[in-house]
A and B are shown apart, each in its own frame.
Chain A
Amino acid sequence: MRFVDEFRDPAAARALVAAIAELAGTDSYAFMEVCGGHTHTIYRHGIQHLLPESVELVHGPGCPVCVIPMGRVDDAIWLAEQPGVVLTSFGDMMRVPGGRGSLLEARARGADVRFVYSPLDALGVALDNPDRHVVFFAVGFETTAPSTAVTLLRARELGLTNFSVFCNHVTIIPPLRAILRSPDLRLSGFIGPGHVSTVVGSRPYRFVPEAHGKPVVVAGFEPLDVLAAVAMLLRQIRQGRCEVENQYGRVVREEGNPQALALMARVFELRPHFEWRGLGFIAQSALRLTDDFARFDAERRFDMPGVRVADPKACQCGEVLKGAIKPWECKVFGTACTPQTPIGTCMVSSEGACAAYYTFGRMALR
């Protein structure tokens, strides 16, 4: 397959692994891959078993589904249960447990919940069902926020009155900052997110080397991308450099995608604070609709309960998201919490560290 096979070439992978082993030498390194997409790639291709033992990959908070707190899921369920409402969302939100079950369970109870591939599909549902109110449950980092912005602009153009967005878009930099400030930080560097960076660019990560002395390499999602990023991080450390490098130059530009950023600026503004699952409240870490789009804002149109729900006691998603523990170190991993019966969000999405580890990585064949 063109444009894919090139990035999965076994010979090139062996060469990179050899280079990594040589660069790493006898020292130990822990690199955090911020993005859930990388976590998925690492497990799906068995990369963690290819790396020398001295190089550890730590999974970060960049799975957009995993960071949604339970209270917000409950709000979405509440919305879905309102008379005349159709709730739409991306597929991987459907099984995320809130305090009152998941959206799939709400549907089993009779709520009209549908999954869509894009927010524009949700708009289509609204056009096809003029007598219903269609809410799009928007989640994701800067990767998916521009498409929500486009959808809202389109909805305004069409003068739709039966469409709104329950906005849960979050931004990538604040959680990264939170992790860097954590006292038990034991990371040697970061593999920067690829898709998010296509929008925000590689520039916003500069504070990581400048203020915290950790190198960043923005990377693509194919296995060779991840291996190359690890090699680049090690090379920086070996050579005494500490900077933001871009391994994903075929897609990511330093300044990002100004058009997408402009669209987002027209539609969204920063929330003063937002709760992250496991990470707690983080200031200016999420987006909401501006006053111009108030009539498309589900939070303003509906009197949502907005109740904060504490994570289940046994669940250690927060520690997993911060990279403080490995998925298997969680007390309920694989027993009470499995992909079939998830307690925590990390076990839901295939990008979640626990689900990826459970599904692909449980066992090394040597």
Chain B
Amino acid sequence: MTVADRAGRTERADRTDRPNRRDHPDRADRADRMIPAGRTDRTTDRTGVTSRTGRVSQTGQANQTGQTKWAGRVEAEKAGRGDGTRGGNMRAEVIQERAAHGDGEADEALVLARVETFRRRRPRALGEVVTAAHGAGGSASAELIEAVFVDAFRNPALDALGDGAVLPLPSGESLAFSTDSFVVRPLRFPGGSIGDLAVHGTVNDLAMTGARPLWLSAAFVIEEGFPVDELRRVAGDMAEAARAAGVEVVTGDTKVVDTGAADGLIVTTAGVGLVPPGRQLSARRVRPGDRVLVSGTIGEHGMAVMIARGNLAIDAAIRSDTAAVNALVEELLAAAPSTRWLRDPTRGGVGTACNELARDSGLGVLLDECSVPVRPDVRGACELLGIDPLHVANEGRFLAVVPPEQAPAALAALREHPRGRSAAVIGEITEGPAGIVAMRTALGGTRIVDMLVGDPLPRIC
């Protein structure tokens, strides 16, 4: 259960305790499997977070293809082919490099090259029923999207890169369009609520395409018995979040379902915005030497939600970072007009987002552990749980790739904004190894930063 995919994309709803389904095995089984996004367990929850249910679309991709959204899928396949070639180069490089260290090492290099090829292979055929694995963000998820959704909807608009579809308009501007569903337990957590997330998530997805978000829709699936007061508060949070982000909720829908059918409340938002003429953000524009920036400290949302669930016996004043980043993105793009690529590292965290960057660009990403901004309390909680902050969700941060000459101006612009005070350059793009995110550790060693696989489960000793 899980997820991990791209920042925030594949997600499954979090529900702690699975009710015992033995009474109606068939029905329960079917219900479970039909709605991968709606299922969970503690395991899953460890990433934190918000599960956004509706994204069956994105369910996937953790390891294989580039994008989680359908919109990105087609592009991802292209990038995948590119990777293949690059993979060959890498293999040659590695072998050459390793040959210097004796034959044994060359063997290892061969094995590793084969492993890389496997990491990039296309998903295999889909099984007969949707299973938990299809919601887990791995290759099974990629398979589901590929075999069902991309196959059904394939069209030129799916070619658009990024967090939403970007559709050209006659005026020279483009229309950005994105949708997202949200489930989070608890509905309220330090620093925010499901209402905040529902607005911020869609606004941020639009902002990541370079768009200025304008209008949102909101649909509510509400369980019978849900308190009206609570609903009013959620709507109030959404109104406030929309005001702060400069967008309006202009249409909506409600449905009431049986108790137990919706995990309390599911909120789905969709949004549209306009991308000014000339703005182009895409992993294909990323070049070796470009710098990777993060707009603030990482890991706060996931950790705040995990702690708010109350089963960790950890007491820390960590608040979710949930916020709309569109204003900050505008500052960045004004200061660094050649910005190549943006992404909000939601579920799966910065580590997963960087892996998508490496894969989609066909280049390497080298992070510097010392430069990654993490609040001490978040770091402490992660240490205790054996979780890597690079895999913890964020809801008010974004990653940007900018050319080196514009990096100082970009950083200065981010840091001037109240939401970007702790922004930092955390790494750079390298020629190779292609598709790999590596990190120079604080100790001076190196290691790989992989995608989050499954959930970050706590270690036993």
Cβ–Cβ < 8 Å partners of A29 in chain B: none
* Interface of chain A residues 226 through 270 with chain B (CB within 8 A): none
Q: Smallest distance from the beta carbon of B59 to chain A beta carbons, Å?
A: 14
Q: Which of A90-98, A205-213, A291-299 contacts B (4 or more CB under 8 A)?
A: A90-98
Q: Contacts A45-B443, A115-B43, A340-B63 hold; do A92 and B311 have CB atoms under 8 A apart? A: no
Cβ–Cβ < 8 Å partners of A196 in chain B: 461
- A328 interface neighbour in B108, B379, B441, Cβ under 8 Å: B108
A92 to B450, CA, bound (A): 18
Asked if B233 CB lies within 8 Å of chain A CBs, one says no
Cβ–Cβ < 8 Å partners of A113 in chain B: 41
Q: Contacts A104-B43, A121-B311, A340-B63 hold; do A361 and B448 have CB atoms under 8 A apart? A: yes
Q: Are A334 and B43 in contact (CB under 8 A)?
A: no
Q: Which of A20-28, A138-146, A276-284, A314-322 contacts B (4 or more CB under 8 A)?
A: A138-146
For B269-283 the 0/1 string (1 means CB < 8 A from A) is: 000000000000000
Asked if B29 CB lies within 8 Å of chain A CBs, one says yes
Cβ–Cβ < 8 Å partners of A350 in chain B: 386, 459
* Interface of chain A residues 329 through 366 with chain B (CB within 8 A): 329, 333-335, 338-341, 349-351, 358-366
Q: Are A45 and B445 in contact (CB under 8 A)?
A: yes
Q: Are A92 and B433 in contact (CB under 8 A)?
A: no
Q: Are B114 and A335 in contact (CB under 8 A)?
A: yes
Q: Smallest distance from the beta carbon of B77 to chain A beta carbons, Å?
A: 20
Q: Are B461 and A340 in contact (CB under 8 A)?
A: no
A95 to B454, CA, bound (A): 9
Q: Which of A8-16, A71-79, A159-167, A302-310 contacts B (4 or more CB under 8 A)?
A: A8-16
Asked if B225 CB lies within 8 Å of chain A CBs, one says no
For B104-134 the 0/1 string (1 means CB < 8 A from A) is: 0000100110110011000000000001100
Cβ–Cβ < 8 Å partners of B450 in chain A: 339, 358-360
Asked if A183 CB lies within 8 Å of chain B CBs, one says no
Cβ–Cβ < 8 Å partners of A95 in chain B: 454, 457
- A110 interface neighbour in B29, B62, B94, Cβ under 8 Å: B29
Asked if A223 CB lies within 8 Å of chain B CBs, one says yes
Q: Contacts A140-B461, A334-B115 hold; do A1 and B376 have CB atoms under 8 A apart? A: yes
* Interface of chain A residues 104 through 121 with chain B (CB within 8 A): 104-105, 107-110, 112-115, 117, 121
Q: Are A92 and B383 in contact (CB under 8 A)?
A: no
- A359 interface neighbour in B94, B440, B448, Cβ under 8 Å: B448
**Chain B interface: which size bin?**
35 or more
* Interface of chain B residues 33 through 62 with chain A (CB within 8 A): 33, 41-43, 46, 62
Asked if B21 CB lies within 8 Å of chain A CBs, one says yes
A1 to B381, CA, bound (A): 11
Q: Are A8 and B118 in contact (CB under 8 A)?
A: no
Q: Are A1 and B29 in contact (CB under 8 A)?
A: no
Q: Are B1 and A104 in contact (CB under 8 A)?
A: yes
Q: Are A340 and B457 in contact (CB under 8 A)?
A: no
Q: Contacts A64-B461, A359-B448, A365-B366 hold; do A117 and B311 have CB atoms under 8 A apart? A: yes
Q: Contacts A64-B461, A92-B458, A335-B115 hold; do A46 and B446 have CB atoms under 8 A apart? A: yes
Q: Are B101 and A91 in contact (CB under 8 A)?
A: no
Asked if A4 CB lies within 8 Å of chain B CBs, one says yes
- B115 interface neighbour in A107, A115, A362, Cβ under 8 Å: A362
Q: Contacts A110-B21, A139-B460 hold; do A10 and B138 have CB atoms under 8 A apart? A: no
A114 to B16, CA, bound (A): 9
Q: Contacts A109-B29, A110-B25 hold; do A92 and B448 have CB atoms under 8 A apart? A: no
Asked if A43 CB lies within 8 Å of chain B CBs, one says yes
Cβ–Cβ < 8 Å partners of B409 in chain A: none
Asked if B258 CB lies within 8 Å of chain A CBs, one says no
* Interface of chain B residues 320 through 358 with chain A (CB within 8 A): none
Cβ–Cβ < 8 Å partners of B97 in chain A: 366
- Enumerate chain A interface residues (CB-CB to B < 8 A): 1, 4, 8, 10, 13-14, 36-37, 40, 43-50, 53, 64-65, 83, 86, 90-95, 104-105, 107-110, 112-115, 117, 121, 132, 139-141, 143-144, 195-196, 223, 326, 328-329, 333-335, 338-341, 349-351, 358-366
A-B pairs, 7 with minimum CB distance? A46-B445, A334-B115, A91-B457, A360-B447, A108-B132, A339-B453, A143-B461
Q: A91-B459, A350-B386, A364-B446 are in contact. List 20 more A-B contacts (CB 8 A).
A: A1-B376, A4-B380, A40-B459, A44-B441, A44-B447, A46-B441, A65-B460, A91-B46, A93-B460, A117-B313, A141-B461, A195-B461, A328-B115, A333-B115, A359-B450, A360-B448, A361-B448, A362-B112, A363-B438, A365-B438
A-B contact pairs, 21 of them (CB 8 A): A1-B376, A4-B383, A10-B443, A36-B461, A37-B461, A43-B447, A44-B441, A46-B445, A49-B445, A49-B447, A107-B41, A110-B22, A110-B32, A139-B460, A141-B461, A334-B118, A338-B118, A340-B62, A358-B450, A359-B453, A361-B447
- Enumerate chain B interface residues (CB-CB to A < 8 A): 1, 17-18, 20-22, 25, 28-29, 32-33, 41-43, 46, 62-63, 94, 97, 101, 108, 111-112, 114-115, 118-119, 131-132, 136, 138-139, 311-313, 366, 376, 379-380, 383, 386, 433, 436, 438-448, 450, 453-455, 457-461
